[in-house]
Amino acid sequence: MAEIEKAIQPIIQVRNLNMFYGLTQALIDIQMDILPRHVTALIGPSGCGKSTFLRCLNRMNDRISGAIVRGEIFLERTNIYSPDYDLALLRQRVGMVFQKPNPFPQTIYDNVAFGPRVLGLVSNKIELDDLIEKSLIQSALWSDVKDHLKEDAFSLSLGQQQRLCIARVLAVQPDVILMDEPASALDPIATQKIEDLIDELKKQYTIVIVTHNMQQAARVSDFTGFFWLGELVEFSDTSKIFTQPDKELTETYITGRMG
Ligand SMILES: Nc1ncnc2c1ncn2[C@@H]1O[C@H](COP(=O)(O)OP(=O)(O)OP(=O)(O)O)[C@@H](O)[C@H]1O
Ligand SMILES: [Mg+2]
């Protein structure tokens, strides 16, 4: 597999990324290539910088006061940290799904319609209806909600809410989907649905997922990065990370011998 992968150009290239919250350094000199239409998992103990790293990929840390980012992140060869990079475009191309489903207090329909309306992606109601149906089909929610589109999003189960949040991201036609522990608030069946969905979505999208669940990382991802104290200790094929990692620290972590 490694030989084939070398022929694919990365969609994201992270170079010399250092990130600080005030005087505290949260990420130390990270380098990473993320391949398109693959799943990259980020693992590591609590507080090691996984969410911070994920937020760097669509500049969500910009909103945190005192946050300073040094280095470069190229999205298809353009540095998203260059001063003239269009932030609205970045957030459209690189969407985010959070640990706790966070639908808007609106109808199911309006939740998915939000992005396309704001960005002016559609010119009439028929196009919008089509886009909403397509996004809900892609997020494996359509059959559950097609007769309830005007109901409040909070009438859905937690797992359905999370798939609604995924539909909301898909509706703006992104290239990359960032997921920060997207299933950790869900029961095993809802978790399974999210994992199946990730498997389906990677045919078309690039997915970067943070997870605390080693089995989940091993099941859903093609590549895995192990973070520890703000450093990317090891990044490799998922099968290699979980069977014969290069670093002892990685082995200690994945075998559960570290807290
Ligand atoms: N908004 C913030 N302001 C200041 N420090 C922060 C902020 N967010 C995170 N940190 C610090 O940055 C470091 C990395 O945190 P981060 O949330 O990225 O870790 P994580 O790997 O996602 O952890 P977890 O697995 O618990 O979600 C921690 O030391 C944390 O306390
Ligand atoms: Mg986190």
Which residue segment(s) compose the domain that 226 sits in?
A: 2-101+176-254
Instruction: For residue 111, give every residue at least 6 positions away whose Cβ sits within 8 Å of its Cβ, in sequence order, or none.
Output: 103, 104, 153, 164, 167, 168
Q: Which ligand is nearest to the CA of 231?
A: 1
117 occurs within a structural domain: no
Interval between CA 210 and ligand 2 midpoint (Å): 7
Residue whose tokens read 């969410």? 51
Q: How big is the chain, counted in residues?
A: 259
Does residue 45 contact residue 259 with C-beta atoms inside 8 Å? Answer: yes
Pocket probe for ligand 1: among 18, 30, 50, the residue whose CB has the most ligand atoms within 8 Å is 50
Give domain status of residue 152, yes or no.
no
Residue 141 lies in a domain: no
47 CA from centroid of ligand 1 (Å) = 5
* 216 CB-contact burial (10 Å; exposed 0-12 / middle 13-18 / buried 19+): buried
pLDDT at position 152, please?
A: 98
Cβ neighbours of 113 (radius 10 Å)? 23
Least distant ligand from the CA of 49: 1
- What's the number of domains the chain is made of? 1
Q: How far is CA 28 from CA 17, 143, 157, in A?
A: 7, 45, 39
User: First CA to last CA across the chain, in angstroms?
Assistant: 32
Of the bound ligands, which one is closest to the alpha carbon of residue 20? 1
Instruction: Specify the CATH number for the domain of residue 223.
Output: 3.40.50.300
- Sheet containing 67-75: give its strands across: 24-34, 12-21, 67-75, 78-79
**pLDDT value at position 125?**
96
Residue at 109 is within a domain: no
Question: What span, in angstroms and rounded, lies between the C-alpha atoms of 49 and 86?
Answer: 25
Residue nearest (by alpha carbon) to ligand 1 atom 4: 21
Choose one of 21, 42, 184 to mutate for the ligand 1 pocket test, by most ligand atoms within 8 angstroms of C-beta: 21
In a domain, 196, yes or no: yes
Nearest CA to ligand 1 atom 7: 21
- DSSP assignment of 71-101 equals EEEEETTEETTSTT--HHHHHHHEEEE-SS-
Ligand 1 pocket at CB < 6 A: 21, 26, 44, 46-52, 64
In a domain, 233, yes or no: yes
Q: Is residue 225 part of a domain?
A: yes
What's the DSSP call for residue 154? G
Distance CA 36, CA 9 (A): 8
Distance 145 CA to ligand 2 centre (A): 30
pLDDT at 1: 53
Q: Taking the model in full, what pTM does it have?
A: 0.95
The residue whose CA is least distant from atom 2 of ligand 1 is 21
Q: Name the token pair of 221.
A: 């991802």
pLDDT at residue number 256: 86
User: What's residue 115's pLDDT?
Assistant: 95
Is residue 158, in this structure, part of any structural domain at all? no
Ligand 1 atom 6: residue of nearest CA: 21
What are the per-10-residue average pLDDT scores of the chain (259 residues)?
A: 70 98 97 98 97 97 93 97 94 95 97 96 96 96 97 97 97 97 93 95 97 95 98 98 96 84
